Structure 1
Amino acid sequence: MESSRELCRASQPIGAGPRFEGARLRKRMSKYITPQPRISSGGAKKSRRAAHDCSHVQWQVSYRGSSSLGTTERNKAAFCDKEGGVLEKRDIDDKILTPLNKKRSDVVKGTLSPFPAGKTMQKIKWNCELEKKAKTALETVAPATCLAGPTAPADNAAIYHTDAAGAALDVLVQGMLGKVDTLAKATDFDENNGNVVVVAPNGAMDLIRSDTTEIGCAVKECDDDATPAVKHSNVYCLTNQKALAKDDSIYPLSGGGCKADADCAADKNETCDTTLGLCEVPETTAVLPKGKNTLCSKNEGMTDALRTQFLDMHNYRRSILAKGQVQRPSGNYLPTGANIIKLKTNCTMEKEAIEEVRDCPTLKEAHGTYGKNFDRFSSSTAIRNYEDAVKKAVTNWWKVVRTDNTGPGMQVTFRDNHVGTPVETYAQIAWADTKEIGCAIANCSSAYTVICLYSPKGNIPDQVLYKTGKTCSACPSGTKCDSGLGLCV
């Protein structure tokens, strides 16, 4: 084990031995953990299938100029992977947002006949929750209603477009945007009181609504309503505004779009994309937790309570793994661990994690020196604060061991095929030789970003996560066994 001078950890009361520390950790962890009863293999399979069985659905998961179809296995490069999305960031940007915002630009500038020039219009961004909602809606569409599409939700405008089977994403989006070009003045929209207003509601109008700021889309292939042998490709998009109704304003008249930041909403700190003439909301600002911080006092943006929560949640999972209490999807329990080390906090690593979450990243980027886990998810009624977010992140990373049957089996060996897959998150937490972690969390407007760094890094192909055998029977030199936790300290 490394010298205590090289570590930054919580102080331990004099005389606190392994038995005391193990009991104390289990007591602290009780508020973070919901006890899981041991269940049979058959029961485990049944509960997983009942919770989410989408094996019958086909999704378009790759859009590199073609429409490659796959099963519900998600694209590992998906921008909204944590929310269940499948679209890659470059496809979202290049094939959806760019043409959509160009269409909005043409409308507000008055260069798309018959639309009159508008005063201001927002630049649309991607929303992972809307993508998830659109994908879920498509899952529920019965084959007999493929062409009709999902039932539109009450709180989101919905746009649905159907094309020939195998249509690429950009073709589907262009077809959807083409509906804007067919809108006719006096029939579909008109001018009234300084606004372009709705005459007859049409989903295409929602694509050019000025105050819409977010969108999320999903793609699916399904059978023809009348002729099942005929296939169709469909794109379904939801916006963050309700559907326009008769006499609603689509956008304000005159001006030709923004020319400078002053033309946009000052109270929202909006800026002007002068090329498109569209206003856009500023980049997300990170808000880091504040509170008592004595353990790594130089690290602004982390508290003792959250630091301890991160550490306890990691060590709890390493403890139950060492004791042979972790169940795989098959129903079998992973073997006991002989050399799993109890983690400690490293202040230098924590500082690096804090600096990274300050930028509110939306995708995981590998760290050159340390192992890394990353999570990002929207705040909600279930995620009310930093403590809730920490619990969700660590739970997300670890639960893969129970849900992904491609992970390390009873030999607990990390393989080449595990690299770049969700298996990495729990494998890194389980990696026996890892001794230190440094974690950070930020509230990035409507989403939390969570990062943990690990040293030494794990997830090395063809190496075992841990040595199997009697708990603590192979503790590294210089360590002893915490019999309560089953970890080497």
Structure 2
Amino acid sequence: MLPYSAAFFLLATFTIASAGVRRKRQAFGCTNTEITDAARLMFLNTHNEARLSVAQGAEPNKCGLLGPAKNMYKMQWDCALEQQAQDYIANCPSSLGSFSGYSQNIIRYTGTFANPLTGVASALTKWWSTVRQFGSNDPDNKYVDTNLYSFANMVHGKMTGIGCAYKVCAATNQLTVTCLYNKIGYYTNGVMWENGTACTSAGDCTTYPGSSCSGGLCVKELEQGDTGANTLCPSNANMTDASRKKFLDMHNYLRSRAANGLEPDALGGNAPKASQMLKMVYDCAVEASAIKHSQKCVYQHSTSADRPGLGENLYKTTALNVDRVATAAESSQLWWNELKDYGVGPENNLTQALWDRPGKQIGHYTQMAWDRTYKLGCSVQHCPTFTYSVCQYGPAGNYMNQLIYTIGNPCTSDAGCPGSYTCSVSEGLCNVV
């Protein structure tokens, strides 16, 4: 069982650099009447102020200070998460629930509660202060100590959505406080936050396309929810237009960053710029092939005979029934992260020596960045014991002793693209259609 808190803890004070998180009245627009906007603001500001303190390198660790951090995102209130949290604690439980694809912090107190917000403040402090008690000592800020479970959920840099609630059960003299978070913060060996410097401009915020910077925290562009619409490839069940769009947007966003020389390489500097990098298009036939393989719920690559002419990337998480859009974003980013985690080098050549490095797999990144590949089709499958993401690519990449992409300046006009292809100047990518 994951750790949770179910006892009173002495209040401690946060070290907060609050200039970037303004305390102001805010209308949240939630329909849940069990808590007030004042309580919502307390939950939200406490999280964001603490996250800002880490981003600025001002938050105490057990020894020294946490941070500074780059790509630390500002949390935004989610009324749907709040309602799920409120429904779950109707009878003041003390144990974690089953919220697939989400993280949860929970605590229950026993006593009298004339002012429940005092208990809320205590809960938030309890969850966060575990890092002062046990310390975060991994140099890459990885989650390696389950004692930091509640802290990891609060601090995870990619977390953007939060919904919290509290409930007083007068008959049993109990108060339960809980928060739900829109991502998993406690993946073993997952990076809780990236080492770096707090943002000062939108260009510093690279985790999510279209992000901005507000007072040292990155702000994710609001997305439309997944309505379940399936109009792009109606003959392919089990996928949605929103998840297709997320896969495609993530791939092209990252390819554009590579084309413009903006992607860090673990072997030094940034990966070289790319000339004639093709902009991907979504392909329903490729998707059908990816769906067919994902439905086997076997985490291994399909055979070349099963996907002639196509490359393939795989991802799985033991979290069940994770939202398809969230899985599309997470899997795409993790595949691409092989560049900054393991590196390719300035030669940009896929050699056997590079491919065979123990524990330094780079084939997911190289397939995503292969400049001649332009067809993309993906699937997210909810398997009995894991959530599975499969993307297939045409034409396939990852040929030994070939350049991942042609090095050079990205296109600035149609003349910079092959044949009849046109240039997407803002992206530095070549349109094939």
Shorter-normalised TM-score: what interval? 0.3 to 0.5
* Structure whose alpha-carbon radius of gyration is higher: 1
The two structures have a TM-score, normalised by structure 2, of 0.44
